[in-house]
Amino acid sequence: MKFIHIADMHFDSPFINLSDRETLGDLKRLEQRKVFKKVIEYIKENNIPYLFISGDLYEHKYVKQSTIEYINNLFKEIPKTLIFIAPGNHDPYIKNSYYNKFEWAENVKIFNAKIEKVETEDAIIYGYGFDDFYCTQCGIEDIQLNKSNKPNILVIHATLNGASLEEKQYNSISSKLLKEKGFDYVALGHIHKTNYDKNNIENILYPSSTISLGFDELSEHGMIEGEIYNSNININFISLAENKFIEKNIDVTNILSKEELIEILNEIQIEENEFAKILLIGKRNFEINTLELYKLILNNRIIKIKDRTKINYDLKKIANDNTLKGLFAMEMIERLKQENISEKERENIERAIEIGFEALE
């Protein structure tokens, strides 16, 4: 049996904190539609009989009915493909969810908070869906697989081996337990990075979020294509994302003016399919206003600028002045000389120096 496994599409995500450029959210939502259509077209062209969607298909708080209808109409284009959806923490199966109140295509099966088993002509598929925005116990340990020649597959939104208190609130499942149960394939969702390794094929997999949703997701994004035959499994990762996020550092230490910085920003080479976050680092020789930079740079592939620079002070020189600034600089030098000072403490002192000098101007 062949299948496609996707997760974490997050349709209609607002992308609020992604960029200071207003249009990027719209561009990313259009990309979500385009990439999802690519998934459906791939299934059609290759006659894939199963589609597993492991949660967070859409954003419950923001999704529009028109988006749900768009998704469902695409499902109708693959009527011979059985679609299994396991709701996650962003699209839980709750009373007012579209999973509950919308009439989905006949080939769509949506799991709820009671683990369910569906036997098809060539597979036995188990599924579980969140019924709230958190889940601490799904009951996976109670599943007993029946002996069968058909592959046993689990579709679920979960944190694999979650250890922290936060991770345990999103359906933490032990990989050891899953292996002991004997599933032929576990279609996971929730973690936006794939654990697929072509040199070490596993059968408990995250496919990654289908597209990159931000600068904390710089890896490849796409879907898993799998085939199970005679207890053997063949897995491939297929990249889908139209655009990707990148980060670039610019050291401003030797840049002497705002105009020079703008020239450098405009000359950065960024590919057409890339969105860039610029991290300004080093010691600055002039005041930097990132909001002002957005208005003046011409490179529209730069969507975020973070100022992590420090003021270029010569503390020793200032400490020689017989002024309040001199006395303050001398005190700060002594603090920086303290033994066993942590990096965090050093950063706090350096920040205090900036604030202090600004106050003493």
pLDDT computed for residue 346 by the predictor = 83
pLDDT computed for residue 360 by the predictor = 79
Measured from the Cβ of residue 324, the count of other Cβ atoms closer than 10 Å reads: 11
pLDDT computed for residue 336 by the predictor = 87
**Alpha-carbon distance 321 to 348, whole Å?**
24
Is residue 255 very low, low, confident or very high in pLDDT (cuts 50, 70, 90)?
A: very high
Question: For helices 65-76 and 24-46, what crossing angle results, to 10°?
Answer: 20
Whether residue 20 is predicted with pLDDT greater than 70 in this model: the reply is no
- Residues 48-71 have pLDDT tens digits of 999 999 999 999 999 999 999 999
Closest residue by Cα to residue 126 from 107, 106, 142: 142
Measured from the Cβ of residue 110, the count of other Cβ atoms closer than 10 Å reads: 21
Whether residue 310 is predicted with pLDDT greater than 90 in this model: the reply is no
pLDDT computed for residue 81 by the predictor = 98
- Residues 115-158 have pLDDT tens digits of 999 999 999 999 999 999 999 989 999 898 988 899 999 999 99
Whether residue 312 is predicted with pLDDT greater than 90 in this model: the reply is no
Is residue 22 very low, low, confident or very high in pLDDT (cuts 50, 70, 90)?
A: low
Whether residue 285 is predicted with pLDDT greater than 90 in this model: the reply is no
- Residues 193-234 have pLDDT tens digits of 999 998 888 999 999 999 999 888 888 899 999 999 988 999
Pair 110, 92: CB distance under 8 Å = no
- Residues 159-182 have pLDDT tens digits of 999 989 899 999 999 999 999 999
**What mean pLDDT, rounded, does the chain reach?**
92
pLDDT computed for residue 180 by the predictor = 94
Q: What b/e sequence results for 174-211 when a residue is b if at least 16 CB atoms lie within 10 Å of its CB, and e otherwise? A: eeeebeebebbbbbbbbbbbbebeeeeeebbbbbbbbb
What one-character-per-residue DSSP string does 158-221 give? -EET--SHHHHTBTEE-HHHHHHHT-SEEEEES-SS----TTS--SEE----SS--STT--S--
Tokens of 344: 């965090």
Whether residue 3 is predicted with pLDDT greater than 70 in this model: the reply is yes
Of the chain, the end-to-end C-alpha distance in Å amounts to 73
The reply to whether CATH 3.90.800.10 applies to domain 2-239 is: no
**In the chain, pLDDT over 90 holds for what percent of residues?**
65
Read off the amino acid at residue 163.
A
Whether residue 353 is predicted with pLDDT greater than 90 in this model: the reply is no
- Strands (E) across the chain are located at 2-6, 50-53, 82-85, 108-110, 116-119, 124-127, 152-157, 159-160, 172-173, 185-189, 204-205, 222-229, 232-239, 244-251, 274-281, 283-284, 302-307, 310-311
Tokens of 303: 């969507």
The β-bridge partners of 222 are 239
Is residue 21 very low, low, confident or very high in pLDDT (cuts 50, 70, 90)?
A: low
pLDDT computed for residue 230 by the predictor = 85
**Alpha-carbon distance 51 to 189, whole Å?**
13
